[in-house]
Amino acid sequence: MEEGLIILLGVFAACLVLGVPVAFALGVAALSAFVYDGFPATTMFRRVAQGVSSFSLLAIPFFIFAGELMLRGGIAQRLVKLATTLVGHVRGGLGVVNVLSSMLFGGISGSAVADTSALGSILIPIMKREGYRPDYAVNVTVTSSIAGIVIPPSHNMILFAVAAGGGISISQLFLAGVIPGILMCLCLAIAAYLVARSHGYGAQPFPGLTAVIIALVVSLPGLFTAVIIVGGVLSGVFTVTESGAIGAIYALVVTALVYRELSWSDFVTAVVRSAKMTGLVMILVGCAVAFAYMLAFYRVPSELAALMTSVSDNPIVILLLINLMLLVAGMIMDMAALILICTPIFLPVATSIGVDPIQFGIILMMNLGLGLCTPPVGACLFVGCAIGEVKIEKAVATIWPFYLAMVAALLLTTYVPAVSLWLPTLLFR
């Protein structure tokens, strides 16, 4: 059995070194282990098929499509305008504007990379033009984009629910992400303000209450997308899949008919990109499920749990170890794959020390979100640096105040269960 585990992990590591995409690396490694242990190859492919047969996964293409439409249909620009009128008059206000814009847009798109791409393309050039250091503009944009993972709706939460075996309420997961997401943005806003003060950045004049009201009214149709998706799920009117479909239709109506900024070429691009991304996600899900099955076959979850409890039986220490392992894993591997692999490994450990599965889901999202802005595999960091024309090493050298802010929010969510569980408990239990 040890030889099979070595083959599973060894083939996977070798594929990553050779540059094989993560989804195919997982599939090749799982197939190698299946064959080595005498399973018919068809068993592995049945596992892959079972992995993508969950009805909840149908919501993911709709969420991705809605996000692509909003990315190209003028919603992001209007949210930035609203955030600027609200907090642009604070010292270093464009940094705080960036965080608030991410909170608003991330809560609609549900994608950190989309957040970085959309808001970064708007705000980073503006911040550079106003005299902000390029690395500061990139760091604020990249770290605040993680709000899109935590604040609902988030297709990553659907992946977690599927990886956990389907017994976790997606509605409760959505609610559980609200306060941690806002807390993270608050910590990042404080960091952005303090760094801006240390650099002597100025403030924009307050545009007046009338401008704030106008910006709010103009942005309401876009903001209402999140209300439809999340509200429909929480009220029980829609399933998650139905809310995703209705949200995509609503986003199409708003961007094409209300704002009238979605051209035909933009629509075609959104369809093509959504189809490609959905295909990648589904392949990744299927192969990751097969890989996770072999990890369970080799008793990795139980052995890891025994190892961690042998180090300490203190829940505080065990949670710290889980956080450290997830943070390191997030630095070197894609987030979606890690959700599917790490959930069956660490969730039993967490629940054995009294952690609610809903709370663990949010802890997982925040940890792996940090990996998106951490080299060497930080997708948001790469996108932000490309937009801001900043070298990655320069951005990383000055990003530490924002890392500290995110870690502070993570630790509060980890050790204060009410941060993530108060809203679900209030409305569901």
Which residues have a Cβ under 8 Å from the Cβ of 18 and sit 6 or more positions away?
none
Q: To 5 degrees, how large is the angle CA 427–CA 428–CA 429?
A: 110
Determine the Cα–Cα distance for residues 168 and 147; give it in Å rounded to an integer: 21
Task: Please name which of 295, 337, 371, 344 lies closest in space to residue 24, comparing C-alpha atoms.
Answer: 337
Q: Which 3-state string (H, E, C) describes 48-64?
A: HHHHCCCHHHHHHHHHH
Q: What total number of domains does the chain contain?
A: 1
pLDDT at 22: 79
Determine the Cα–Cα distance for residues 59 and 267; give it in Å rounded to an integer: 19
pLDDT at 109: 56
Per-residue pLDDT of the chain (429 residues; tens, 9 = 90+): 578 888 888 888 898 888 888 788 888 998 898 888 888 878 888 888 887 887 777 878 887 888 788 777 877 778 778 877 887 777 767 788 878 877 777 655 556 776 777 777 777 887 887 788 888 888 988 898 887 788 887 778 888 888 887 778 888 888 899 899 999 989 998 998 888 888 877 667 777 888 888 888 888 888 787 778 777 777 777 777 888 888 889 889 988 888 888 889 989 988 998 888 888 888 888 888 888 888 888 887 777 777 877 777 888 999 999 999 888 888 877 787 888 888 888 998 898 888 999 999 999 999 988 888 887 667 788 888 888 888 888 888 888 999 999 999 999 999 999 999 999 888 776
Q: From the CB of residue 346, how many other CB atoms can be counted at a distance below 10 Å?
A: 25
Determine the Cα–Cα distance for residues 407 and 366; give it in Å rounded to an integer: 9
What are the start-end ranges of the H helices in 177-239?
178-199, 209-235
Task: Please name which of 139, 142, 81 lies closest in space to residue 112, comparing C-alpha atoms.
Answer: 142
Determine the Cα–Cα distance for residues 279 and 184; give it in Å rounded to an integer: 31
Determine the Cα–Cα distance for residues 122 and 134; give it in Å rounded to an integer: 13
Is the peptide bond preceding residue 376 cis, with omega within 30 degrees of 0? Answer: yes
> Distances in Å between the alpha carbon of 240 and those of 24, 97, 243, 300, 362?
28, 31, 5, 32, 18
Query: At 131, phi and psi to the nearest 5?
Result: 95, 5
Which residues have a Cβ under 8 Å from the Cβ of 100 and sit 6 or more positions away?
83, 86, 87, 185, 189
Determine the Cα–Cα distance for residues 154 and 233; give it in Å rounded to an integer: 12
Radius of gyration of the chain (CA): 21
CB half-sphere exposure, 421, CA atoms < 13 A: 14
Determine the Cα–Cα distance for residues 277 and 111; give it in Å rounded to an integer: 12
* Distance from chain centroid for Cα 227: 19
Task: Please name which of 353, 367, 356, 318 lies closest in space to residue 156, comparing C-alpha atoms.
Answer: 367
Task: Please name which of 122, 171, 204 lies closest in space to residue 428, comparing C-alpha atoms.
Answer: 171
Which residues have a Cβ under 8 Å from the Cβ of 215 and sit 6 or more positions away?
78, 81, 82, 84, 85, 86
Give me the count of residues in the chain.
429
Residue type, 53: S
Check: CB of residue 336 under 8 Å from CB of residue 368. no
Check: CB of residue 192 under 8 Å from CB of residue 98. yes
Token duo for residue 177:
């992400």
Handedness of CA 162, 164, 169, 172 (dihedral sign): negative
Q: 107: domain range?
A: 2-428
